[in-house]
Structure 1
């Protein structure tokens, strides 16, 4: 089992594009493959092949969200799907794709998760996960639950 990387470069200025995610995959020594997958399967990481597969026909937001989720599995060296590994991958994907300032700006326009997902080019499920696991509301204030360090800083260092 490969240990996660530990360096902590600077944060990205903006949320990664698909090209950025492809560069991240390359830096993690995996390749991205669009494929026809089983019904209901949006993506998966195959460690033995060093490949991340994502379903043919996904929207841009779905591609970003699925690829970021699967790259989180790569980064954490998850070798099987467990509830804990899936939650961890969702959290890391949300931290990578959702900039707190952009989230706050979108939420000021409308607190609706669909609106926020569309504004941020992520899935509604990722917005819900971000709300539940990455931020905390105390009164009228919102705080990050975790430092945007570990994963996001490492991945950000892979961006140009």
Structure 2
């Protein structure tokens, strides 16, 4: 989490944990350059939501749409999931929940990673490069 907060700070964003409308995990307020995260989230959900909101900032989204949400999820899964760690987790178990637990992310992030960051060519699987490397 601290690495993502540092990435946010590099972009001039602050991160606040707040009581927000139930059902909303977080949001980006460009007017105040703040990412708000719901205090109702568990630590894994909070991590993934922060990465997702950083994706909105990365792409300059100022509103929500299906395309914007997909782009933000692609950004998030590619900064949260290391290809080597994913391969090791998948070798331990083919089940999404097990892979997510091993990687410390949500099942949604694993599903998005499988659909949008991996490419299978024959028997080989390749991962696209991450948007940013975490220190």
TM-score (norm. length: structure 2): 0.94
Is residue 85 from structure 1 mapped to residue 65 from structure 2 by the alignment? no
Runs ≥4 residues deviating over 3 A: none
Instruction: Determine the structure 2 residue equivalent to 1:15.
Output: none
- If asked which structure has higher relative contact order (CA below 8 Å, sep 6+), I would say 1
The number of residue pairs the alignment matches comes to: 135
CA contact (8 A) 1:22 1:32 kept: yes
Runs of 5+ in structure 1 lacking a partner?
1-17
Instruction: Determine the structure 2 residue equivalent to 1:26.
Output: 9
CA contact (8 A) 1:60 1:121 kept: no
Is residue 134 from structure 1 mapped to residue 117 from structure 2 by the alignment? yes
Aligned mates of 2:129, 2:79 — CA distance in 1: 12
Aligned mates of 2:69, 2:41 — CA distance in 1: 20
TM-score (norm. length: structure 1): 0.80
Could you tell me which of 84, 102, 121 is aligned with 1:101? 84
CA contact (8 A) 1:135 1:143 kept: yes
Runs of 5+ in structure 2 lacking a partner?
none
Please provide the CA RMSD for this pair.
Answer: 1.3
Aligned mates of 1:134, 1:54 — CA distance in 2: 25
